Structure formats: structure tokens, C-alpha cells
Amino acid sequence: MKGYGQFCPVAVASEVFAQRWTPLIIRELCSGRSHFNEIHRGLPLISRTLLAERLRWLEDAGVVASTTATAGRVREYRLTEAGAEFKAAIDALGTWGQRWAVRVDTQNLDADFLMWQVYHRLDRERLPQQRVVVLFSFSGVPRKRRGPHDYWLMVERPDVELCLTDPGHEVDLCVEADLRAFAHVWLGDAPIAAALRERAIKLSGPRKLVQAFPHWLLLSRFAGVARPQPG
């Protein structure tokens, strides 16, 4: 990959970090994704070929190390000491984006990505001990997104499974939501209570589960970053 032709530390660091997709790959690794398929699930628009190429590049740069599990051919990726130092840059980018950037661009709405985030950001301590199946059904999904509109979470503390097809169990709680509205809630732009009041998010099921559901959501880890006040 062509560099900037400068020995400035900012330039040489950018040659590693600022390649397209690389910050998001590092984001996934910082979040604990260690298998190729997990990383790809968080980056659905990158081709598997390009992801493999980027991971090899990061290994060559000393940012990522990989090992193959002895029980099979599953490869695990982790950040090296050098790679872990990029976490501060990822946090700074996320904070800046939350504080200053446009919150939800319709072109960026992606139910699959949102549900992948929900799956990883549930408060395990608050989940029910008995198995509960939660159906998420989204409206307002952009036409260009060809993925599913319905998702199932099988919840049984401390385990959670995200299903893209009906797992065949009775649904205990149904979450019907406008995708844009749920994304705003997830980013901390609007409280879930307001979205429920406005019927942008509708919950149906036993009263106990309906009342408990909002407390399961930890939201985006940048949801608490304040926006500048107008004026």
C-alpha cells in the first residue's frame, strides 16, 4: 500500500491505521471479536476477501496476531501490544462522531448491524433466568438493505443467541420498531420511554417482560457523550 513519503510519526501511523476499513476492524477487535466470522458480522459491507487481506496486512504491521485453535482450523485474532494502543484512537473517533457528526443518516441504517450491537450490549445480570424468546420486527428498513427485517434473541441468563431465522420456539416478547427510531434510542438521542409513548417502538407480551426489556439494553458505549448545546 502506497505510503505518504514522510517520516513524521503521524504519517507513518496513518499508513497503518487510516486505510479504508482498518479502524473498524480494530474497533471489532477492541470489542472482543476474535474470529473471522465475528469480525465480518460487524462489518457486513466488506468482502470476505478484503477482510482477509486487511487482517494479513495488520499482522505484517505487528498490530494483530493470530493463532489456530488446536482442536480445528478456526483462526483467532487478537491485538498485539502495539495494536492495543489504537484503542485510545478508536475511543476518540467514537466520541467525536457521537458529539459532532450527523446521528442517523438514512443511508446508513442497517438492522443487521444494529442487532449485532444489541446482542453484544445486553446487561447479562438483568436478563431472565428462564428462557425467553424475543422477536424484533423492524419497519423503515432502506430498500437497498436486502437482509432480514426480523430477528430472534433467545435469552437465558447468562447466555444469549441471535437468530436470523425462526428458531421454532414460541415468542415471549415482541418488539416492533421503526429502525430509525430504535437507532436513535440506541445512540442515546432519545429515551426509550419517549419512543414507546410515541409508538415508534411497541412492546407486546407479558407485563413483567415488557417492563423489564428497557433495562436489558446497555445502548451504544458512546450513548453518554453529550452533544454541544445550541447557541
For residue 202, what pLDDT is reported? 98
For residue 106, what pLDDT is reported? 83
For residue 108, what pLDDT is reported? 85
Residue tagged 473471522 (cell numbers): 36
For residue 76, what pLDDT is reported? 94
Residue tagged 467514537 (cell numbers): 94
For residue 72, what pLDDT is reported? 63
For residue 212, what pLDDT is reported? 97
Amino acid identity, residue 42? G
Topology at the third CATH level for domain 106-216: Nonspecific Lipid-transfer Protein; Chain A (3.30.1050)
Separation between Cα atoms, residue 96 and residue 114, nearest integer Å: 20
For residue 68, what pLDDT is reported? 86
- pLDDT one digit per residue (tens) for the chain, 231 residues: 678 889 899 999 999 999 999 999 999 999 999 999 999 999 988 999 999 999 999 999 999 999 987 666 788 999 999 999 999 999 999 999 999 997 788 888 999 999 999 999 999 999 999 999 999 999 998 877 666 799 999 998 889 999 999 999 999 999 999 999 999 999 999 999 999 999 999 999 999 999 999 999 999 999 999 988 876
Name the β-bridge partners of 68: 75
Cβ proximity of 149 and 186 under 8 Å: no
Cβ proximity of 76 and 27 under 8 Å: no
Separation between Cα atoms, residue 114 and residue 192, nearest integer Å: 15
- Rg, Å, the chain Cα set: 20
First to last CA, the chain: 44
Separation between Cα atoms, residue 168 and residue 133, nearest integer Å: 10
Domain with CATH 3.30.1050.10 in the chain: 106-216
* Model confidence pTM above 0.85: yes
Separation between Cα atoms, residue 173 and residue 152, nearest integer Å: 10
For residue 102, what pLDDT is reported? 75
For residue 104, what pLDDT is reported? 84
For residue 193, what pLDDT is reported? 97
CATH class as words, domain 9-100: mainly alpha
Domain with CATH 1.10.10.10 in the chain: 9-100
- Concatenating the DSSP letter of every residue in 183-204 gives HHHHTTSS-HHHHHHTTSEEEE
Question: How many residues are given for the chain?
Answer: 231
